[in-house]
Chains A and B, each alone.
Chain A
């Protein structure tokens, strides 16, 4: 194992070095970095040119300059031996200092998009596999083909130029903003149809689902219209109680089984504690910082696990009970936090910097906007919502198809037939036997997808004017500023290789039949 890891790391370093040579020389021959200076009318033109040549060592041919650059990077690997440098940008800034802030926003964007795409994609893919060849399956298949064929800049531009502006106009227009009758009917019908297709069953069950989903959706929409929800959103004690109740039931059904009374009890206690915290913590929330929230989040998860563990002492199925309590605790406390964010919303949209148009279309935060953690949190959310959606949609199609194919393949395996023959419930077969095995090949695909997403971030950051790593590369390439480009390349290359490496190790951990050699 140790030998394997050492060899892998050595090969990876060699690969990155070779790829960096390719990237460096290709970029260097793609144009003249002094072009803008040569065209300028400055009196001290010659001096400026000479200064830039000295700064970037442009008098050395690209191949030799690459060795120079590599030496600087190599210094970062050997502690105390050499000076660590990634070179300077055209403006004379050190790339090593430019990189971290740029990385932060890109990594956040890509991570959130990946996680969302995996969760949604796997869930939808599994449902389509369970309802193979149904109308739902066929529509999702078409949708995913459509998303495959949709370049990311089209989605991003669509969301920015039509979605964001439309939403802002909608918020700014009506008093209060009202969803029109046409849309209420359309959304109600759509939701009723989707739910009926999702849950399936015989004609009677479908009709019941159709009607109840329709009534629930129409009710929710009318509630939104009546209470001016878009400008004064709220959960409040009543809605929160309902949501937490649904979470308790839903999470128990997903992780264990509704017939498992102990799991239901543990989830119920976790939900109840979260509900009590809602009343108890409001004062603390008002003075919270990032760290308080972090500690509270860790506390919520640890507390739920503890509840699950205590309840599980009274009988079998320890793992299931703890899982049910933990997931319930996590989601229930998320709702409590969500409610607090909603309370901050009216102040946010009425802030003069926001001016009633909350959906942001550029940059990573509103300049000149200062507020407490809730206000800045909302500001971040409104800035990252659309870029994240546009990145998520593309990977979503990918994971849906993959999860569907994977689950269908697993269903053909002998151990599933054995599980059925033992008389296990369909729920247990899907969640405990099929789901976990389906996840194994997913690890390889995630590694491949992260590279695609990092490329996609290049476009998303351009459309939404976010100063991330993609922008750094973009601006660098326009000016032929080699060092920032290579800094960008180093980060994404290391990320890609690290993800591949982790995927291979995960594969071996998850699937004992695979031995790394």
Chain B
């Protein structure tokens, strides 16, 4: 016993907060960190190039104006690095706009879906009984319709109302997987002693849910939310491809593919650039999500990608 207190200061282990540990594990994961850098880098690049909203960027060409062809077939040149489409619009400006719109819809779906899913799941798992039964039956009703189908209907409703409303409404219909996961987590956590302690101390239900249980379930929420965001990119571009997502004059990467589909044989760059900027962010989000899962749960005991899929 006496030995331990006599240890030199350097050899004593410094205590670390759980969050610091998680952050450390994430930061030391090269694949996840690299993906995060790529993910944010693409957005920053597009903002620097074509600006954000009213602020204009350093790229002078507009994404709506047709320009005279710089090269035969509108092939990529220094002036138009991604080439020009069939009517001569600058493909670089269009792709950059498309990236921003994709990111916006993804964040909206991720944000709205996560909030609704977490609240529904938390309430159902915490109160159990008829509230749980009712909420889960409602979740089942939403799950019956495939995401792309309900997305197409929602997209048709909100397509003309702009990207913000489209993203928010889509999020309102894509929260089910998160709700199920959070409910499962709450069902086990609510039986733990710290919940009893909080209740005995006089905490209200809302306080127990949000202050005591939710911080313990946040790992599940974050990982599921990253998976939802990766799926959101694919949903948005897929819907826009079908014509139910982002509408002209706004640009969507999926729309670029469907509009130029017949020209790919002669102008393959019209396919490859949007394809690259659909797949890369989605891949990056997937890797970040995987890194987060490893950081939150290095032994992969509590929740796994597999269980996430199984329950969703």
Show the binding face of A for B, using Cβ within 8 Å: 11, 14-16, 18-19, 22-23, 26-27, 29-31, 145-146, 148-154, 157-158, 161-162, 165, 398, 401-402, 405-406, 441, 444-445, 448, 451-452, 454-456, 458-459, 462, 473-474, 477-478, 489, 492-493, 496-497
Given contacts A451-B143, A474-B242, 17 further A-B contacts (CB under 8 A): A19-B142, A23-B153, A26-B150, A30-B157, A148-B283, A149-B234, A151-B282, A153-B254, A158-B271, A161-B264, A401-B306, A406-B306, A451-B146, A455-B146, A473-B152, A477-B152, A492-B146
Contacts of B282 in A (CB 8 A): 148-151
Show the binding face of B for A, using Cβ within 8 Å: 137, 140-150, 152-154, 156-157, 230, 233-234, 237-238, 241-244, 254, 257-258, 261, 264-265, 268, 271, 275, 278-279, 282-283, 285-287, 290, 304-306, 309-310, 312
Q: How far is the CA of A29 from the CA of B306 in the complex (A)?
A: 38
Contacts of B143 in A (CB 8 A): 451
B305:A401 contact, CB within 8 angstroms: yes
Using CB atoms, name the residue of chain B closest to A394: B234
A455:B305 contact, CB within 8 angstroms: no
Given contacts A15-B141, A154-B279, A441-B310, contact A26 B154 (CB under 8 A): yes
Contacts of B287 in A (CB 8 A): 145
Contacts of B312 in A (CB 8 A): 448
Given contacts A19-B145, A22-B141, A493-B145, contact A157 B257 (CB under 8 A): yes
Q: Which of A23, A27, A398, A456 contacts B148 (CB 8 A)?
A: A456
A149:B283 contact, CB within 8 angstroms: yes
Q: How far is the CA of A445 from the CA of B307 in the complex (A)?
A: 10
For the complex formed, measure the closest distance between the CB of A502 and the CB atoms of chain B, giving whole angstroms.
Answer: 16
Q: How far is the CA of A162 from the CA of B257 in the complex (A)?
A: 14
Contacts of B237 in A (CB 8 A): 151, 153
Q: How far is the CA of A454 from the CA of B149 in the complex (A)?
A: 9
B145:A148 contact, CB within 8 angstroms: no
Contacts of A31 in B (CB 8 A): 156-157
Complex A-B, nearest 7 residue pairs according to Cβ-Cβ distance, in ascending order: A455-B146, A149-B282, A455-B148, A149-B283, A30-B157, A19-B144, A161-B264
B309:A398 contact, CB within 8 angstroms: yes
Contacts of A30 in B (CB 8 A): 153, 156-157
Q: How far is the CA of A448 from the CA of B180 in the complex (A)?
A: 14
B304:A405 contact, CB within 8 angstroms: yes
Given contacts A146-B283, A149-B230, A458-B148, contact A26 B141 (CB under 8 A): no
Q: Which of B148, B271, B275, B286 contacts A148 (CB 8 A)?
A: B286
Contacts of B257 in A (CB 8 A): 153-154, 157
Contacts of B275 in A (CB 8 A): 154, 158
Enumerate 12 A-B pairs (CB-CB under 8 Å) in ascending A order.
A148-B230, A149-B230, A149-B279, A151-B278, A153-B258, A401-B305, A444-B310, A451-B146, A455-B148, A458-B242, A459-B242, A477-B152
Residue in B146, B244, B287 whose Cβ sees the most chain A Cβ within 10 Å: B146
Contacts of B279 in A (CB 8 A): 146, 149-150, 154
B238:A151 contact, CB within 8 angstroms: yes
A161:B265 contact, CB within 8 angstroms: yes
Using CB atoms, name the residue of chain B closest to A155: B275
For the complex formed, measure the closest distance between the CB of B162 and the CB atoms of chain A, giving whole angstroms.
Answer: 16
A477:B156 contact, CB within 8 angstroms: yes
A455:B147 contact, CB within 8 angstroms: yes
B310:A445 contact, CB within 8 angstroms: yes
Q: How far is the CA of A27 from the CA of B152 in the complex (A)?
A: 10
B153:A153 contact, CB within 8 angstroms: no
Contacts of A406 in B (CB 8 A): 306
Using CB atoms, name the residue of chain A closest to B261: A157
Q: How far is the CA of A444 from the CA of B234 in the complex (A)?
A: 23
Contacts of A23 in B (CB 8 A): 145, 150, 153
Contacts of A157 in B (CB 8 A): 257, 261, 264, 271
Contacts of A18 in B (CB 8 A): 137, 141
A161:B261 contact, CB within 8 angstroms: yes
Contacts of A462 in B (CB 8 A): 241-242
Using CB atoms, name the residue of chain A closest to B258: A153
Q: Which of B145, B152, B233, B264 contacts A162 (CB 8 A)?
A: B264
Using CB atoms, name the residue of chain A closest to B234: A151
Using CB atoms, name the residue of chain A closest to B146: A455
Using CB atoms, name the residue of chain B closest to A478: B243
Q: Which of A398, A478, A492 contacts B149 (CB 8 A)?
A: A492
Contacts of A454 in B (CB 8 A): 146
Contacts of A14 in B (CB 8 A): 137
Q: How far is the CA of A42 from the CA of B287 in the complex (A)?
A: 57
Given contacts A161-B265, A448-B312, A459-B238, contact A473 B156 (CB under 8 A): no
Contacts of B144 in A (CB 8 A): 15-16, 19, 493, 496-497
Q: How far is the CA of A18 from the CA of B282 in the complex (A)?
A: 33
Contacts of A497 in B (CB 8 A): 144
For the complex formed, measure the closest distance between the CB of B263 and the CB atoms of chain A, giving whole angstroms.
Answer: 9
Q: How far is the CA of A489 from the CA of B126 in the complex (A)?
A: 33
Contacts of B154 in A (CB 8 A): 26
Contacts of A405 in B (CB 8 A): 304-306
For the complex formed, measure the closest distance between the CB of A127 and the CB atoms of chain B, giving whole angstroms.
Answer: 18
Residue in A18, A154, A402, A456 whose Cβ sees the most chain B Cβ within 10 Å: A154
B309:A26 contact, CB within 8 angstroms: no
